[in-house]
Every structure is written in C-alpha cells, then in structure tokens.
Structure 1
Amino acid sequence: YGTVGAVALDKDGNLAAGTSTGGMTNKRYGRIGDSPVIGAGTYANNKSVAVSATGSGEMFIRTSAAYNVHSRYTHLGENVQKAGDAVIKEIGDIKGTGGMIILDAKGNFAFPMNSAGMHRGMIDSKGVPMTAMFGDEQLRHFKAK
C-alpha cells in the first residue's frame, strides 16, 4: 500500500535510486504516475544525487522533481536539503503534496516534504537503523519490539 522508495550509496561511490508504488486510489484508467518516470519520481547520477519521490504524481511529473533536485544541486551548488526544499515548494505552488528522499555522493541526505508525514528511515555508517514518520520529527534509533 503506497510508495516504497530507496536511495543508496555504495563503497565505490555509486548512487542508486528506486521507486515503486501501488498507485493512486480511484485513478483514471491509463494513468501513469511519477514513480516509473525517470526524472520525475526517481533519479540517480553518481556525480550528484539519488532521489526517490512520493506524492501527487502529476505534479512531480510537471516539475521534473527528481531531476530538478539534481539540477539545483549541480548547477546552483545547493545542498541536498536546500535543493529538495525548493523543489517541494515548487510542487506545493501548483497544489501538489508529497516528499522525497535524497542522498548525495558525499553521504549527505535530506527528507523534504510538504505533507503531514512520510515514513522514512536510514541505516547509518555503523549499521544502526533510524526511523521517523511525521514531517517535523527527527530521525531516531529504531527499536524492535
């Protein structure tokens, strides 16, 4: 149910991104969301960033959201948080909602969103998992029950 996205940086400096979604409830027949559109819901470039997005797919497509993060990072020199926040604002300006997970080639990450929440998590360099759900919530160590 819903979108599952992942971004990764391997020991050789390779970035990867993947996005899968169950789709939108009551979607129009033939609708294609942003997840399979490289540059909208998913993008990775070893020289810049890996991005996976979720939300109002049409708005992510219209803004080329994932590629736009790469462009802002590469051409404007913005860090992952600033680039992601700017793209999410652009999506919000056209009445879209959602969020992204972003990772750069240096290991910096961001989870910009304009929705109330987005399940997200990461594993740090020591293998410790961390999670968060709500928009204003900081990542915290995951404790299995």
Structure 2
Amino acid sequence: MSGRIGDPPIIGAGTYACEVCGVSCTGEGEAIIRSTLAREVAAVMEYQGLSLQQAVDFIIKHRLDQGQAGLIAVSSKGEVAYGRNCNGMFRGCAEENGFMEVGIW
C-alpha cells in the first residue's frame, strides 16, 4: 500500500494560502509532496496570469507527476475551483448568496 498517512498536511504541498488563493489537496501524499501541488496553483495564477480554474486544470495536467490527487481552491475573489486526476473526489462548497454544490465524480 502506498501513500503518506498523517494528520497535518505539509504547507505548500497539501495546503497553501496567500493573497491570491487558498488550496487544499487530498490523495497520494508522495505525489502531492513532490509536486508541491497547492503552492503551484497560486504560483501559476500569480506569475502566468491564469484564472483559478485554469490554474487548477494546468497543475493537475502538467505538474502532478505519478499518483492520484485532487484539490479544491478558493480565490481571493471568492471563486471556487476543483481538479482531480482520479475517478472521483468528494467535494462541496457553499457561497454567501446561498449557492451550494456537492459532487462525487
């Protein structure tokens, strides 16, 4: 069985927050750590000018090396984005205006 088991995520890899966005990841810990997945989302938004969803899609496709993972991100504007390279990921969000979204696939 592969994977890292631990309570706290590693800052920059499994979780990250700055003035651009906040990101939380789940999945195979080694792949998330190697790719510094959470920090990379903020970096491509900041340095390449991508939107939140574009950044999430780019990171999942181009920076996540072997291993399965998913993430949820929130921009400083309140936008929410999800990304994954696996068959499913439980996720959800609720906004101030009453909009709610829950997903599995």
TM-score bracket relative to the smaller structure? 0.7 to 0.9
**1:124 maps to which of 84, 95, 102:** 95
C-alpha distance in structure 2 between counterparts of 1:75 and 1:101, whole Å: 20
Structure 2 match to 1:37: 10
1:76 correspondence with 2:57: no
Higher-Rg structure is 1
Asked whether the 8 Å contact 1:40–1:60 carries over to 2, the reply is yes
Q: Which has the higher helix share?
A: 2
Q: Which runs of 5+ in 1 are unaligned?
A: 1-25, 135-145
Runs of 4 or more off by more than 6 Å in structure 1?
none
Amino acid at match of 1:124: E
How far apart are 1:108 and its partner, in Å? 1.2
C-alpha distance in structure 1 between counterparts of 2:10 and 2:32, whole Å: 10
- Percent identity for Structure 1 against Structure 2: 38
C-alpha distance in structure 2 between counterparts of 1:124 and 1:111, whole Å: 15
Q: 1:24-76: per-residue Cα shift (whole Å, max 9, x none)?
A: xx568xx566952100000011x200000001111111111100111001111
TM-score of the aligned structures, taking structure 2 as reference length: 0.87
